[in-house]
Structure 1
Amino acid sequence: MSEEAILSVSELTGAIKFLLERDPLLSDCWVRGEISNFTHHSSGHMYFTLKDSGSRIKSVMFASKNRSLTFLPKEGMKVIVRGNVSVFERDGQYQLYVNEMQPDGLGSLFLAFQQLKERLEKEGLFQEDRKKPLPKFPKVIGVVTSPTGAAVRDIITTIRRRYPVAHVLLYPVLVQGTEAPLTIANAIDHLNEMVEMKIDVLIVGRGGGSLEELWAFNEEIVARSIFASRIPIISAVGHETDFTIADFVADVRAATPTAAAELAVPHLLELTRHLDSTEQRLAAAMSNQLRDLRKCVDHLAQSPVFSRPTDRIRQLRQHVDHTENELELLLTKLLGNRSKRVNELTQRLSQKSPVERVMHTEERFGFVLQKMFSAMEARLGNAGHQLDRMIDKLDAYSPLHVMKRGYSLAYREEKGRHLVRSINEVQLGDRVNIRLQDGWLDCQVWGIEEEDNHDE
């Protein structure tokens, strides 16, 4: 075997890759399988495995390819993919490079519709309590639709027939194609900014069509513009059986553009009939009220109060005189009772006058006060005499008094001054301090002589 016939691993892998990429079946093929081990990398690339009951193959869909997907692949989803088979040389493993993908058995657009609908519903864009009521009598109605379709003609015709006093402001947009969602969303935003127009309600929609033709109204950008609109929005997309994301977000959903126009404005003829009926009922009610009031006036005119008014005045005067007499008698009686009660209380008060009790109390207080002062003076005198005796006694026992007779006190100098009471407390050479009557002596012990003071 020659050296030239031996291949390196890289050469062998490259040869396999070359053969796979040259095969017309493997260079552009459709494959059906179930997604497993799905990973959406931060780079945007999607890595997954396609499998069936018998085998599996590693697959990758780069970000440049998966950006065009209208749905998000998930674990366990059955799909049909289109791509080419090649070898990842670093691992020496063949894999499928996916360029297109669609759900198997379920259209990609319908799947994308379901996924977006679930996500927006979780965010609360469909909640009923966030929907705005429609005005009863709008003056300006904005219409966002194609200027050439049948929908705009139906809307304008219906509004002019039902409520010709309203003004219609048409904002032409694309309703189909890749650019349609952005133009619809921009139109809604722009009409909300036109505050000078004072638009009362918006109709956003188009005529019927397939799911692909109505898809612009299933885009997230349109849904969020409808949700953010301060002006109430009526969604009118397709026919009665067609439902779009815009229908769920809008404040009101109309089955058709014509139905949207009917919801937006009242019927002038019905309003006129209602006003006529109300006017007739009001006139009848006023007529009945006037008739009842006239009867009441006639009845009052025939009453004695109006026919003979002086009789009533005389009766009232007589009643006033009688009441005055009764009041005068009552006041006289009341004053007599009050005067009698005052006299009784005056007599009782004079009998229990506090003047004598106050004078007696003052005399007693003066006596007690004088007695208290006398007792205090006697007590203070006794205390002063006792204090003088104690001072004399204390002076007699004072060591200073004794010292005047020639006595002194000896103190040891060590560790402060301690009184020396015995010769046993000092030694020869110790320094002592002698306390005299008029000062101190600093001395040293030169001799110690003990005396026998015991009685024989």
Structure 2
Amino acid sequence: KSGAVLHDIVKILKSRFENISVIFANASVQGQNSASEIASAIELLNLYSVTQKKIDLIIVGRGGGSIEDLWAFNEEITARAIYNSSIPVISAVGHETDFTIADFVADKRASTPSNAAEIAVPVKSELLKQSEKLKNRLKLGAVNLISNRKAELLNLIKNIEKVSPKRIIQNKRIRVYDLAENLQSSTEGRLNLLRLNISHLRKRLSLKSPIVVFKERKLYITGLSGRLRRAAEITVANYKSRIGTECKALNSLSPYNVIKRGYGIVFSEENKVVSSVLQVKENDIIRVVLNDGGLSAKVLEAKPADSAVQNK
């Protein structure tokens, strides 16, 4: 209880949360029996939590020292006690650069005992601020909820007459009356229109009997048939004349008519028409299409027109 580390931990705990309850379990932190004392202290705190008052967290720690001074926290009995603890354990052994087996089996490792106190306990003032914010949000939410429900209730009260059976029956009755009036008006209008149409049809029928109408239509159809026949004959004659003219034009432009006059069409090995000596070179195989067949030839020499004139 007189260790400086213990006083630092308590000081930080009280500064962060002044009315926190702290329970001490004495144990040697170095020496021959220190490992078993640390393990017994951890087991005692677990028993106390079950039988007396619930403990939320255990800090197992000591100040810095040599590896021999810290060896109790490397012992198997200490590691098993920390691992088997039903209460969460923070290991705070030595300085930040010191590591022991207890650090790896604990629920949380603190770099120093002071850091363990900061990890273990939040700042009460911050919790109070957060609690106050949550309280205000809850209060505002409750006020808004009550306000919304109140508005809904008022709307329901205002609209209750609209959804009452009496009001619904009245509305339906008015609607039926309106529909009946509209139906009667529409029916009368439709009947008057039909009467007027029938009167017009009777007048038209009286002016022309079916026999007269039939003769007029027959004469009209006969005239149309004659005009259609004459128009078709003229159209066919015109198309025949145009087709004959275009056939003559196509024959005059056909390359096969040129071939008949003693010319030929030259194709390269890629079966492309050769229109210039620049498209072939020496030793190329070419194909010449003539009027009555075709022949294959080998290019002995390819000269442009200017070069051929100079050689002559």
TM-score by length of 2: 0.49
Q: Rg: which structure is higher?
A: 1
TM-score by length of 1: 0.35
> Where is the helix percentage greater, Structure 1 or Structure 2?
2
